[in-house]
Amino acid sequence: MSLLANLNPEQLSAVTLPNQSALILAGAGSGKTRVLTTRIAWLIQTGNVSPAGILAVTFTNKAAKEMLTRISAMLPVSTRGMWVGTFHGLCNRLLRAHYRDAGLPQLFQILDSADQLSLVKRVLKSMNVDEDRFAPKQVQHYINANKEEGKRASDAEAYDEFSRRYAEIFAAYDEQCQREGVVDFAELLLRSFELLSKNEILREHYRARFRHILVDEFQDTNRLQYRWLKLLTGPGSVIFAVGDDDQSIYAFRGANVGNMADFERDFHVENVIRLEQNYRSHGNILDAANALISNNRKRLGKNLWTAAGHGEPLRVFESQTDGYEAHWLAEEVRSLNRDGLARREIGVLYRSNAQSRILEHALFSAGIPYRVYGGLRFFERMEVKHALAYLRLIASSEDDSAFLRVVNFPARGIGARSLEALQDAAKAGNTSLYNAVPQLGGKAGNSLAAFTAMIAALRHEAEGLALPEIVEHMLAKSGLLAHFQAEKDGADRLENLQELINAAALFVQEQDEAQDLAAFLAHAALEAGEHQAGEGSDALQLMTVHSAKGLEFQAVFVTGLEEGLFPHEQSRNEDDGLEEERRLMYVAITRARTRLYLSFAQNRMLHGQTRYNVASRFLDEIPAGLVKWLTPRMGGLPAAEPVLASARDAAIPKPLPRATQMGWRIGQNVVHAKFGQGVIVDAEGQGPDARLQINFGRQGMKWLALEYAKLSAA
């Protein structure tokens, strides 16, 4: 059977499992996506289930699209009837199909994180709450955390005046959302869960329909998502859960790695299949990852291996300062690129966003193109959010968040006092801001009335237009295009607005079901958290380790491996904190295919302060036989001097007897009469030709002849 060709024995066993719930422990680079898609294709091909009987849950829209594309390539069947998507996307689909039962308006809107925060601020203001005591972002986190635990305001803990006030704000927020006909991301899942819990007929319908439920990245599910899956699972249902507990790194988002153990128990799982053959990395990299993660006690256990051979040792670089670490990294990247490795095949990872500044400075100074992966996303750009707000108002005049975003953008002379008066009128009349406009008179009332008249006209003119034409028409009539055309630096924003038209056209092209404005707005809200690919330039990839999950590179640099940074100091105060940090390091290591660099600095500037560090414990958890040190270990050992060495070769100290005799060493802080304080970063030559390369910060990098340098120790 060609469908099963080229599967290894474990993959084949997983794909052809009998109809009972199973847990697939899929290690990094073990082909889990292939197993998932082939399992779906095999189930359909063998007649176990029709496409309409499949429910497949992924964690990104990109993964869902890839899954559908692969299935279509494997089988000559339509994937239209299949429910494949993220938890939020599937819940949105369920709620739109049963909006009346869910107590929602037909055209309910989805709030992204920024719009939710804006609504929280409005609720706090309407309740006269002191934002110093109840910070809006903390309130937002409180609401989402409760919803993700399946709790409403009436269920939230209220054991003192402070917690009772939080619960009151939560209740007022929910009431405002209901009045405006909007839902936040957490509400999508909670409302969907409540709908299925309370409506037995609906619950039994979907249980009977979805006989096969497949879940990707199962280790990233939170408690409510797990309960939602259990609710959809009837006596004849089978769950095929694929995940890797060693890559569970999203506890801060509510992910509960314990769901995997609970799943084994709750579903009486007899089949636990371990996909351990890795198709990405060389053996030394995998051996290092296995050794590191074995220090975690709470794991289901597996051991990655490869047929690709041992490969090169891991390279470790220790520097005196973070600036020197960054300079070394830039030079090493340049060397790799000269030897034929594309910059886009090199990933630079760090634990904290704050670490990127010094790296970016070194790369900029070296003229190395780079891109910070996970930068501002398309649907989160200011001009795009303004355009979406206009579209949301066209779809529903009840949307107060959208109203407030664009009522005075472009400027229409509508000030804060006018809006306060409007909000008071809306509250008194228990109506939306849009509908309260006729209650205001004077100049403010006239300006607001002109705005609502424009929205009404746009709504009327949108009738009969295709979705891309609606977007294009709105951009012209709203004044957004004219506004950015008049801006000195508005070219990029105009390009983004034009791209929004393209996004609408692509949405229509790819959508099998609803192609109306409400569906597109839901799509935009759900896509807001997805990374948009940058231009195709050959640029070095910089990112946090969390952002690197799911990616791979030929060469990877993991920087800042110091106690308190990686593992992060906060991990000491959290349950499972150190184990999660170790899982994060495991993810970092397994991003590399052929070459892995690990680096750290004795002192580092972070948050305006110099930190004096010791090497991360994770370096000690990697067997010494897998590692090549590019610098003699400092760490207080006698006669240990750092040397700048290319990782292409063994670390060979550069011959500089005169410098050594005079006591200078690379990494040392020095002072020059003209250029001020600097750090020795390189050395070359002997005798009278000896010279030092010194980084003088704002004065730049200088090569100075040692004979005439007139340096003093800092």
Residues serving a catalytic function are 32-33, 216-217, 247, 591
Query: Is residue 644 left, alpha or beta, with left meaning phi > 0 and alpha meaning psi from -120 to 50?
Result: beta
Among 563, 191, 514, residue whose Cα is nearest residue 351: 563
Q: Mind giving me the DSSP string for 195-218?
A: HHHH-HHHHHHHHHH--EEEESSG
Cβ neighbours for 380, distance < 8 A, ≥ 6 positions apart:
112, 114, 528
Cβ atoms of 295 and 29 within 8 Å: the answer is no
- Burial of 66 per CB tally in 10 Å (0-12, 13-18, 19+): middle
How far is 368 from 362, CA to CA, in rounded Å?
Answer: 9
437 alpha carbon, distance to own chain's centre: 40
Among 29, 38, 28, residue whose Cα is nearest residue 7: 38
How far is 565 from 598, CA to CA, in rounded Å?
Answer: 14
Question: In this structure, what token pair is assigned to residue 430?
Answer: 């228990």
The CA-CA-CA angle for residues 79, 83, 86, to 5°, reads 125
Task: Supply φ then ψ for residue 504, to 5 degrees.
Answer: -65, -40
Query: What is the DSSP code (8-state) at residue 78?
Result: -
Strand 109-111 relative to strand 182-184, pairing: parallel
How far is 33 from 59, CA to CA, in rounded Å?
Answer: 12
How far is 324 from 358, CA to CA, in rounded Å?
Answer: 10
How far is 77 from 83, CA to CA, in rounded Å?
Answer: 14
How far is 677 from 694, CA to CA, in rounded Å?
Answer: 9
Angle between helices 517-527 and 382-395 (to 10 degrees): 150
- H or E segment to which residue 241 belongs: strand 238-243
- Burial of 58 per CB tally in 10 Å (0-12, 13-18, 19+): buried
Residue with tokens 């600036």, as numbered in its chain: 323
3-state secondary structure of 625: helix
3-state secondary structure of 676: strand
Cβ atoms of 673 and 666 within 8 Å: the answer is no
Among 27, 540, 538, residue whose Cα is nearest residue 285: 27
How far is 301 from 25, CA to CA, in rounded Å?
Answer: 9
Query: Is residue 636 left, alpha or beta, with left meaning phi > 0 and alpha meaning psi from -120 to 50?
Result: left
Residue with tokens 């009840």, as numbered in its chain: 398
How far is 217 from 527, CA to CA, in rounded Å?
Answer: 18
* Sheet architecture: strand order including 676-684: 701-705, 691-695, 676-684, 669-672, 711-713
Question: In this structure, what token pair is assigned to residue 196?
Answer: 């299925």
In total, the chain counts a number of residues equal to 714
State the Rg of the chain over Cα: 29
Question: In this structure, what token pair is assigned to residue 508?
Answer: 């229509």
Cβ atoms of 543 and 349 within 8 Å: the answer is yes
Among 607, 588, 606, 586, residue whose Cα is nearest residue 597: 588
Cβ atoms of 54 and 84 within 8 Å: the answer is yes
Strand 212-215 relative to strand 54-58, pairing: parallel
How far is 96 from 54, CA to CA, in rounded Å?
Answer: 19
